[in-house]
Chains A and B, each alone.
Chain A
Amino acid sequence: MDKEVTYRVGIPVMGVRGESLGRLEKVLLMESRHQVTALVVRSLDSMHILPLDRVTELNAAEIRTNVTPEELHGFPVFDPTQYEEVPPWFFPPGHHIELGALVTIKPLDVREQGEEDALTRRAFMGRSVAILAAAIGVSLLVPIGGYIMAAATTPVKDSWRDLGVKLQDLPMDEPVSHSFRAFSVSGWMRVPEERSVWLIRHSGVSDPQSEPEDKILGLDSPLELANSDPRLTVLSPICPHLGCEPQWHKGQKLFICPCHHSIYQLNGKRIGGPAPRPMDQLPVRIASDGSISVIYEQFAIGIAAKKRLA
């Protein structure tokens, strides 16, 4: 190992003829290239940047250059904002520069193993740190993702509900908004909720509006296909456009949504307005005594497909 040499900031910088150019003020470097590019020399009147390729000899007591005092003034004047702290990998083996009393940087790696080795070692340690950090981060973020998704993907549990009304009590060819009590579940809470459906009892199968539009267009799922009845159509009260509640207008014999004026016929067929699909038909069962049960399904809003919210 070389004898340790310290270049102190403030040592004289000598010109080509051995005359003083000034004193070393700072060391400039190009961080992206990991390379010292210039020295800042303080002469009597100002500071100048002296490119390193003009330095001929580094010496613990002085720095020698091939610059003349007159030439020095041709070099750019030092701009203080360009100053960076000297990083540890700069110093050649066995050498270092002290920047004042507070900042002394002398890396172990460079001194002991030479710059080439040190950089490899340093990169290796840096990569190891990144791997460890990634290991912790991933094993923490994966359960957190699951934790957030666990509630988000809680299945909507809906089952057959008896509406407490009998088919024979309903008026013919006239929608009835029937309310019933249900629960909405969010997390640990079950909140009682009032829900409603449209019940439409058909006088005859021959009526062109007795066949739900969903069925005609083939939008129904197997659940709805398996549970339908030609005597009764049950429609969801929710407008498939943006989730408002269409109202039945007796005079016009149409469902009209108050929000954006989507217009539907008795069987849910859309005949006007922005809605992307007909009103949603719900699965229905009618017992032998005429009592009606439905599954209150909910569907995605604003799309043409009848996609059940799971």
Chain B
Amino acid sequence: MGHKIYAYLDERIRISSLMGFLLNEPMPGGSRWAYIPGSMVFFVLILQFITGMMLAFYYGGTPDHAWDSVNYIDHLTYNGVGVGRLIRGIHYWGSSIMVIAVGIHLLQVFLWGAYKRPREIMWLVGVVLLGLTMTASFSGYLLPWDERAYWGTIVGTNMIGLVPFVGEAIKDAIRGGVGLGALTLSHFFTLHTMILPTLFILFVMLHMVIFRRVGPAGPFSGSPEKLEATKDTFYPRQVLMDAFGMLGIFIFILALAILHPPGLESVANPSNAAYNPTPAWYFDWIFELLKLIRPEIVGVVGLPVLIAVVLIFLPFIDKKPVRSPFRRPFAVLSTLFVLTAMLVLSLMAENGYKKLVDVDRAAMLRGQTVFNTAGCMGCHTLFGKGGKIGPDLSEEGLVGHSVHWLTVQFVNSKAHFPDSIMPDFTYLTPQQQHDLAMYISSLGRMNWPDPTKTP
């Protein structure tokens, strides 16, 4: 049967010739594990496409529905399996892994000297794809429309606004107005789900077409005769290695999605000026660097321009044909320097962020009972209900108080605020104080009502 279909198609669309072209690509020096990063990027991109389409199935791209729809996805279960959270988790972690895979791919091409003549154009197309990847992660950040998304995008777009002369206009064009609102969200949604995927498809195709025109660069050492003698075809050995790599990366993303599902903070609240936004981890180093560079404008404009200029002009400046990293000490040392700097800056940035309490779910639920029975709602407001004497606690978990600070606050609030009128809840047992602190730390961060269970 399969044979007949194959023969039928072969006669009409010459499928064997096509497959031969795709699979019998000659690889000088033979197949290697070192050649899989490009395929890994491609695989994660496909994964993002598929899970992204799935998320769009249930996503509502307006400020009054976006958060609710993401919370709905988080609660979608089928036969007891949290499929919604899983799909969102794959997309969420997929974006991080994609950035890593793109970074590894770029680094390898650089160290292998594979961007040199005649592969300069392929390198440039790759630089465009890097930009698309970064734009995709930036635009996807806003879509859940929670506090992190909103304030992160406020800062990100404000940075664009600092660019001299045109910045303000570009910022307003991106936001669809002066402020961040409904048009910003639909702009970002359109960018993220229509414009970027289209550009991705075009540039990935271009990348691959050029790749097949010039062929793989192959190893950086070895005589042409030796490479010729050890030549292999793409199929089956390299394809098998790629497939193993894809399975590995898939399991890794799946594990992250299951063990560390993405969070959802409380819905974007433009009046919560106390919110302390942090960027996605791969922008940490830029975040830290911008704090060091003064005046600010130099960093905001200079840094991306510098990165773009270096990447774009690299193959045209570095024209020596020598490819081995062992004979390019400057290239290798500067790579090491940049990587170390990025790592140190990222660690510094992470260190500077307020650590939110790692909430223990069981303790949080016990603490909720304590909260409801101890009379907290008499003075405090929670999600629109309760008293007005004390502060609103709806987003208290995002403030970043430690468990210790909170327990002191329960039993002796004057230690923090001398004028505090809050009663001292000294009758709470240490266990209850701890549980209550866990519950307070969860507020605005998790434990949202399940919209699939309507009353």
Contact = CB atoms under 8 A, between A and B. Distances in A.
A110 to B, nearest CB: 11
A143 B7 contact: no
A150 B21 contact: no
A147 B20 contact: no
Contacts of B391: none
Nearest to A132: B243
B72 to A, nearest CB: 4
A108 B235 CA distance: 12
Interface in B204-243: 228, 230-233, 235-237, 239-240, 243
Of B72, B228, B452, most A-chain CB atoms within 10 Å: B452
Interface stretch (A121-129, A196-204, A285-293): A121-129
A159 to B, nearest CB: 9
A188 B60 contact: yes
B454 interface: yes
B454 A190 contact: yes
Contact of A107 (B17, B81, B233): B233
A136 B239 contact: no
B81 A104 contact: no
A187 interface: yes
Contacts of B240: 125, 128-129, 132
Given A107-B232, A129-B239, A136 B78 contact: no
B266 interface: no
Interface string B61-104: 00001001101100011110101101100000000000000000
Contacts of B17: 84-85
Given A107-B232, A143-B86, A187-B69, A84 B20 contact: yes
A299 B32 CA distance: 61
A19 interface: no
A105 B232 CA distance: 8
B233 A105 contact: yes
Contacts of B16: 31-32, 84
Nearest to B17: A84
A185 B72 CA distance: 12
B58 interface: yes
A107 B236 CA distance: 11
A309 interface: no
B246 interface: yes
B16 to A, nearest CB: 5
A140 interface: yes
B50 A105 contact: no
Contact of A136 (B24, B81, B233, B250): B250
A134 B310 CA distance: 41
A146 interface: yes
B452 A154 contact: yes
A147 B232 contact: no
Contacts of B228: 104, 106
Contacts of A150: 76-78, 83-84
A31 B250 CA distance: 35
A147 B72 contact: no
A32 B250 contact: no
A188 B247 contact: no
Contact of B83 (A105, A147, A185): A147
B78 A147 contact: yes
A105 B246 CA distance: 27
B83 A143 contact: yes
B69 A188 contact: yes
Contact of A149 (B71, B72, B78): B78
Contacts of A3: none
Contact of B81 (A133, A139, A146): A146
Of A87, A122, A144, most B-chain CB atoms within 10 Å: A144
Interface string A187-219: 111100000000000000000000000000000
Contact of B231 (A87, A104, A187): A104
Interface residues of B, number: 48
Contacts of B239: 125, 129
A143 B81 CA distance: 9
A211 B86 CA distance: 52
Given A85-B21, A154-B452, A146 B83 contact: yes
A35 to B, nearest CB: 13
A149 B54 CA distance: 12
B30 interface: yes
Contacts of A1: none
Contact of A105 (B7, B26, B77, B87): B26
Contacts of B71: 188
A44 interface: no
Contact of B451 (A103, A107, A126, A188): A188
A105 B254 CA distance: 39
A108 B232 contact: yes
A148 B236 contact: no
A132 B246 contact: yes
Of A104, A135, A150, most B-chain CB atoms within 10 Å: A150
A144 B87 contact: yes
Contacts of B330: none
A147 B243 contact: no
Nearest to A32: B7
B50 A140 contact: yes
B313 interface: no
A151 B21 contact: no
A148 B57 contact: yes
A21 to B, nearest CB: 28
A157 B453 CA distance: 9
A18 interface: no
Nearest to B26: A105
Nearest to B232: A108
Contacts of A146: 78-79, 81, 83
B244 interface: yes
A243 interface: no
B24 A188 contact: no
A222 B17 CA distance: 65
Nearest to A146: B78
A100 interface: no
Contacts of B84: 147, 150
A31 to B, nearest CB: 5
Given A140-B250, A150-B77, 18 more contacts: A31-B16, A84-B20, A85-B17, A87-B24, A88-B24, A88-B233, A104-B231, A105-B24, A105-B233, A125-B236, A136-B250, A139-B250, A147-B83, A149-B78, A150-B78, A150-B83, A151-B57, A157-B454
20 contacts: A31-B16, A31-B20, A87-B24, A88-B24, A104-B26, A104-B228, A105-B24, A129-B236, A132-B240, A132-B244, A135-B247, A136-B247, A136-B250, A146-B81, A148-B57, A157-B454, A187-B60, A188-B60, A188-B69, A188-B451
Interface of A: 31-32, 84-85, 87-88, 103-108, 122, 125-126, 128-129, 132-133, 135-136, 139-140, 143-144, 146-151, 153-154, 157, 183, 185, 187-190
The 4 closest A-B pairs by CB, nearest first: A146-B78, A125-B236, A188-B72, A132-B243
